[in-house]
Amino acid sequence: MIFSSFSIMAFIVVPVIIVLFFALFLSKQYKRCPSNQILVVFGKVTGAKAANCIHGGGAFIVPLLQDYTFLSLEPLAIEIDLRSALSKKNIRVNVPSTFTVGISTQTAVMNNAAERLLGLTNTDISTQAQDIILGQMRLVIATLSIEEINQDREKFLDLVNKNVNLELNKIGLDVINVNIRDITDESGYIEAIGKKAAAEAINTAKIEVAQQVKDGAIGEATAVNEQEVSVAKQQAQAVMGQKQADRDQRITVSKYEAEGVTGEASAEREKQVAMAQEKAKTVQGQKLADKEKRLVLASLEAESVMGENESRANIAEYDASLKARQADAKRKGEVALANSARDVLLAEKEQEVALLEKTELAQKEVDKKKIEIEAEATAEKTRRIARGDADAVLAKYEAEAKGLKAVLDAKALGYKNLLDTVGKDKGLAPTLLLVEKMPELIEMQVKAIQELKIDKVTVWDGGGKDSNSTSNFLKGLINSLPPIHDLAKQTGVELPEFLGQIKPEYLNSYFKKTGDGSSGDSSGTQGSDSNEKPVTQ
C-alpha cells in the first residue's frame, strides 16, 4: 500500500514538475524590449532579413535556432571640428558644430543598425558617424556661398540635416539635433562683409542727407532767384560743385568695382581648381566606400551563412548542406576580394586621368574668363567717366539758363509793374524808361565833344562885312549833334515839353557873342545884351 501510494504521488508530482519546468523555460525564452533599447533577434528569422529588430513589446527566442542582443537608443553627442572647408566662392571656412545622433526606430533603418553597428562600442559608432558627417558637411558648404552660410542659417541647417541624415541612415543612425557653434573664415571675409554692410548703411545715410541738403538749397535758390540774380549764380556754382563731387564719387566707385571684379575672377580660378581637387577626392572616397561596403557585405553574408549552418549542425540531416554552404561562402569571399582589388585599381586610374584633364582645362578657362572680365571692367570705367563729364557740362548750362531766366523774369516783372503804374496811359511807359536813360544820353552827347582833341582851329572867311565865320562854325558844330527831342522822335517817342527846349533866339544871341564882336548876324535875328541867359519854355 505504501508503495502504491508513493507511485500515485510520483505519477502526479512528476508531470506537474515537468509542466512547471517547461513553463519556467518558456518564460525565460520570452524576451521583453525596454523603451530605450532595440531587441535584435538573429539566427533563424522569418523572411530574407539577417535579423529581426523590435522596438517595444517582446519576442520568443527559439532555443538553438535563435539568439538575441540589445542596441541602445541613447543619444550620442559628436563634436565636429570642421576646419578649412571650401565654400562656393573658394573661401575656406571653419564650422565647429555638435551633432546629436542615435539609432533610428524606423524599421528599415533599425535593420541597417543591426547589420552594421551590432557589437560596436559608442566610440566606434561615433568615429564612423564623424567621418560621414565631415564629408557631407564639406559637400554642403561647397554648394553655398559665404553669404548664404552666414545669413541664411535655416537653409544651411536644412541642407546639413538632409544630406547627413540620408547617409547616417545607411548605417542605422538618425540625426536628432545639429548645433552650429560659430562660422569663421581664415581670410576675414565674414568680418569684411559686416564692415561692408555698415559702410554701405553709413554711405546711404550720407547720400540721403546730402540729397536733402541739395534739395533744400535748390528750393531756397529758386525763391531767392525771384528777387536777386546774384544768388541764383552762386547757387548754380554750388550745384556745379555737387555734380563735380558726384562725378568723382562715380569714378571712385567704378575703380573699386573694377578691383572687385578682378578679385572675383581670381577667386573663381581658385574655386575651379579646388572643385576639381575635391571632386577627385570625392570619387576616390566613393570608390573606397563602395569597396568597404562590398567587403563588409560579403563578410557579413559569409558570417550569417556560417552561423545558420552551425545552428543546423546539431541536426544530422543538414550536415551535408552545411559543408556545401561553407565552401560556397569561401568562394564568394575570394571573388569579392578580387573584385574589390580590381575596382580600386580602376578608380585610381580614373582619378589620375580626371585630375590631369581637369587641371589643364580649368586653367585655360580661368585665363579666358579673366581676360573677358578685365575688358568689360575697362569698358565700363570708360563709359562712366564719359557719363560723368557729360553730367558736369549739362549742369553748367542748366545753371546759366536758370540765371538768364531769373534776369528776364525780373525785367518782365518790372515792366509789368511799370504798366500797372501808368494805368490806361500806356504811352507814358516808354517815356519814363527814356527819361531814366536821359542822363546817359546827355553824357554821351557831352563826351562826343569833350573827347575831341582840337589843338587849333583855323577859320577862313571872305572878309565880308556881315560875315561871322567863327560863330557859324561853332553853330554848325553844335547843330551837328542830335538834340534830345530829335533823338527821342527817332525811337518813336515824343518827349513832353516840360523837359525843356532851346529857343532859336537864344542860339542866335549865343553865337553872336562867341563870334568876332559884330553886333548882328546875316540871318537878321534880334540881338541881346551880354547878360542875356538861355530862355526855356
- pLDDT for res 243: 82
Q: Is residue 332 part of a domain?
A: yes
Do both 259 and 383 map to the same domain? yes
Q: Is residue 534 part of a domain?
A: no
Q: Is residue 193 part of a domain?
A: no
- pLDDT for res 517: 43
Nearest alpha carbon to residue 59 among 34, 38, 27, 32: 32
Do both 509 and 383 map to the same domain? no
Do both 140 and 263 map to the same domain? no
Angle between helix axes 229-312 and 319-422 (nearest 10 degrees) is: 170
Do both 239 and 346 map to the same domain? yes
Do both 107 and 250 map to the same domain? no
Do both 494 and 368 map to the same domain? no
Q: For the chain, how many structural domains are there in total? A: 4
Residues 118-128: tens digit of each pLDDT: 888 989 999 99
Q: Is residue 11 part of a domain?
A: no
Residues 291-337: tens digit of each pLDDT: 777 777 777 777 767 766 666 666 666 667 667 777 777 777 778 77
Do both 277 and 356 map to the same domain? yes
- Choose the final residue of a domain: 131, 161, 185: 185
Q: Is residue 201 part of a domain?
A: no
Do both 66 and 84 map to the same domain? no
Do both 125 and 270 map to the same domain? no
Do both 349 and 375 map to the same domain? yes
Do both 359 and 244 map to the same domain? yes
Q: Is residue 282 part of a domain?
A: yes
Nearest alpha carbon to residue 173 among 127, 234, 233: 127
Give Cβ neighbours of residue 257 (< 8 Å, ≥ 6 apart): 377, 380
Q: How confident is the model at residue 522 (pLDDT cuts 50, 70, 90)?
A: very low
Q: How confident is the model at residue 173 (pLDDT cuts 50, 70, 90)?
A: very high
Residues 195-249: tens digit of each pLDDT: 777 777 788 888 888 788 777 778 777 766 677 766 657 777 888 878 888 888 8
The grid coordinates of residue 410 equal: 525780373
Q: Is residue 537 part of a domain?
A: no
Q: Is residue 31 part of a domain?
A: yes
Return the CATH number at 127: 3.30.479.30
Which range of residues forms the domain containing residue 244? 226-418
- Choose the final residue of a domain: 136, 154, 185: 185
- One-letter amino acid of 356: L
Contact 313/319 with Cβ under 8 angstroms? yes
- pLDDT for res 79: 92
Q: How far apart are CA 85 and CA 185, in angstroms?
A: 9
Q: Which long-range contacts (CB under 8 A, 24 or more apart) does 527-533 make?
A: 532/506
Do both 265 and 413 map to the same domain? yes
